[in-house]
Amino acid sequence: MIEIVSRDRCVRCDICVKVCPMDVFEPGTDGVPVIARQPDCQTCFMCEAHCPADALFVAPLAGPAPAGSPYTDEAALVASGAMGRYRHVIGWGRGRTPGSRLDKNFVFTARLAASGGEGPSRTDASGDDAGVSERQPEAS
Amino acid sequence: MSPSAAPHLVRDADVLVLGGGPAGAWAAIAAAEAGAVVVLADKGYCGTSGSAASGGNNLWYVPPDLALREDAMARREAIAGGLTERRWMARVLDETYRQINRLAGWGYPFPVDDAGVERRSSLQGPEYMRRMRRRVHRSGVLILDHHPALELLADADGAVAGAAGIRRQQGGGRWEARARAVVLATGGCAFLSGAFGLNVDTGDGHLMAAELGAELSGMEFSNAYALSPAYGSHTKGLMMQFASYYDEDGDRLDVGDMTAARRPIARMLADGRQVFARLDKAPPGLREAMRQAQPNYFLPLDKAGIDPFAQSYPVRLVFEGTVRGTGGLRVTGDDCATTVPGLYAAGDVATRELITGSVSGGGSHNGAWAVSSGTWAGAAAAAFAARQRRADRPRAAGRAGLRPYGPAGGGPDAAEVVGAVQEEILPLGRNYFRSSEGLRRSLGALDGLWTSVAAHLTGEGREALRARQAAAMVAHGRWMYRAALAREESRGMHQRVDRPAADPRLAHRVRVGGLDEIWTAAEETREVTA
């Protein structure tokens, strides 16, 4: 769940308020958004991806971080480069290569298909749970 | 919202699209390209809402090569339980190919393989939906973010005439959009299980449609679960092809490969055991590519300080309902019309049985379905709107959770209703391992909840949405379990411990509908599949 809006880094653009699909943030009286409805957070990292200032940190937990958790220690998270990490890995921000350009999904779907990840013997399986199914063509 | 209060924001459109995930975005674009004035209202934000935005999306994208297409369809038919239709599969493959190539033309940065060929069979959610939002906007569509719809409007003949909801970031007042046709693209229902990016999907559209008499199909194929770290919610499965599983003592479990492993793992978790995963089958040379293929599998593990190649981590199965499941509103024709005049269904709100049958469409088939059904529904809605008269004084159709027939209050509140529904729907022991006895017991609880919700539940402002979502989940659960009772066999993801085999006499789809009284009926598949 969302744990940190960094007051030092926030540029008061309210993008997080706008893009959060769960409506977790409220505009702050001083311009820095506040986490108003943390229990509604679905840990989707979309705010972290869209924040232009790497001012947000979403912990990997499905629930709120316990008191004293390293996930609420802003100084340590800043030092470790954890802030805005999702934006970095998907290649958003100036000078970065869009992550989609490096997308190697086709390598793994092809592997799975070749190993028989789907077939008539698996009629009791729930199918392509991993979002994987087709033998990929040699060229597309 | 006070449902009777005068709306603060009224819009007029030819076509209203509810939902701004891929299906809604493709529908809005298609309707605008057909010349319609289009409004798109999203519960959250078009660009981040919906199951595709936060994840990665494999696509059922196959070039128009006869042998490749034949192979793609035959492979699905082999596991789909006889419920697919070849004609629909072929047209989804066609339409998806065409539209994804347009997406490439709009600048989506696809990867290029070693042979220098662009690979278009996978989309990364944030990039995909950022591009789609831009395209929707440039098509002249008015986007209303944070405008959850709570109900449909209908004319005197029962045709849909728009929708109304709340402006949740502007004080919670009512908005209303009058339209001559509506595309529902509100997603499936994951019952607020917390699965990655799925809490926006609470089945609101199914309830709104059912209030106008829409039918559903395939609701027994509604118990998709996916593996995630036990502490989190990140249900990205592709990398699990490299996983080995371990018990509490660190002993390796003999559970088979990725697809076969699910059932024994579910059994252990249902029995309160712990299961651990480690990607020890991943060749070191592939590990960097793995990160590039699925960054949001690795990111939460990185943040938790876990190296999944070296360390085992505890897993759980998170419920994904009819999002990764298959059932939804029944479509009556090639244009994705529902049984309600003027109302079209696109994406996960519609049944995907036609192309994926009784098994999960995963990201791949469901992703292709969103592109195709969105495009068809949008175009058809525009055509319907062009010949439909504007309704004079449409009636607001919302009932349970919005306009209770009894005094407000007196029953459980929205949070209590959600908790009670989750108790019947989320546990593996109830929903993954289904039985007649268990289904009947849960239906008893859910029917009781419905009675209370229909009589008493409502809310103001943001609470209006929570109340309505709670009602939608109760309705969804009742359709699911009623359909699961009707299918007295095991087929695809619907597995009955008391009926472990498939019954050839039940190789047909099951329709379900109704609110206070729920009915089921058989629908023969229109063609025999291999």
Look over chain A and give the mean of its residue pLDDT values, rounded to a whole number. Answer: 83
Look over chain B and give the mean of its residue pLDDT values, rounded to a whole number. Answer: 94
Q: CATH 3.90.700.10: which residues of chain B?
A: 225-319
CATH code assigned to B414-507: 1.20.58.100
Has residue B527 got a pLDDT over 90? no
pLDDT of residue A130: 38
Helix (H) or strand (E) holding B295: helix B295-303
| Inter-residue contact B418 to B467 (CB < 8 Å) | no
pLDDT of residue A131: 36
- Rounded distance between C-alpha atoms, residue B384 and residue B358, angstroms: 31
Write down the ipTM of this complex.
0.94
pLDDT in tens, B492-516: 999 999 999 999 999 999 999 999 9
- Backbone dihedral angles phi then psi of residue B252, each to the nearest 5 degrees: -70, 135
Answer whether B34 touches A (CB < 8 Å): no
Work out the minimum CA distance from B280 to partner chain A, whole angstroms: 16
Has residue A132 got a pLDDT over 70? no
**In this predicted structure, which of B55-64, B212-221, B433-442 has the lowest mean pLDDT?**
B55-64
Has residue B240 got a pLDDT over 80? yes
Has residue A137 got a pLDDT over 90? no
| Distances, alpha carbon B220 to alpha carbons A40, B392, B447, B509, B523, in Å | 28, 39, 17, 10, 14
Beta carbons of B44 and A50 less than 8 Å apart: no
- Rounded distance between C-alpha atoms, residue B51 and residue B148, angstroms: 16
Average pLDDT over residues A76-82: 94
Has residue B339 got a pLDDT over 80? yes
The CATH number of B9-218+326-396 is which of 3.40.80.10, 3.30.1490.110, 3.40.50.300, 3.50.50.60?
A: 3.50.50.60
Model confidence band, residue A80 (pLDDT cutoffs 50, 70, 90): very high
pLDDT of residue A117: 46
In chain A the domains, ranked by start, together with CATH numbers, are: 2-90 (3.30.70.20), 97-119+130-140 (no CATH)
**In this predicted structure, which of A85-99, B324-338, B468-482, B488-502 has the lowest mean pLDDT?**
A85-99
pLDDT of residue B5: 62
pLDDT of residue B109: 96
pLDDT of residue A128: 39
The closest alpha carbon to A22, from B2, B345, B202, belongs to B202
| Distances, alpha carbon B86 to alpha carbons B70, B74, B346, B347, in Å | 10, 9, 19, 19
For B297, name the nearest residue in chain A, comparing CA atoms only.
A60
Average pLDDT over residues B246-260: 87
Model confidence band, residue A126 (pLDDT cutoffs 50, 70, 90): very low
User: Quick one: fold of B225-319?
Assistant: Flavocytochrome C3; Chain A, domain 1 (3.90.700)
pLDDT of residue A116: 53
pLDDT in tens, A26-74: 999 999 999 999 999 999 999 999 999 999 999 999 999 999 999 999 9
Beta carbons of A42 and B78 less than 8 Å apart: no
Q: CATH 3.50.50.60: which residues of chain B?
A: 9-218+326-396
Has residue B83 got a pLDDT over 90? yes
pLDDT of residue A118: 42
pLDDT of residue B311: 96
Answer whether A99 touches B (CB < 8 Å): yes
Model confidence band, residue B2 (pLDDT cutoffs 50, 70, 90): low
Answer whether B213 touches A (CB < 8 Å): no
Work out the minimum CA distance from A124 to partner chain B, whole angstroms: 6
- Rounded distance between C-alpha atoms, residue A3 and residue A34, angstroms: 10
**Radius of gyration (C-alpha) of chain B in whole angstroms:** 22
Q: CATH 1.20.58.100: which residues of chain B?
A: 414-507
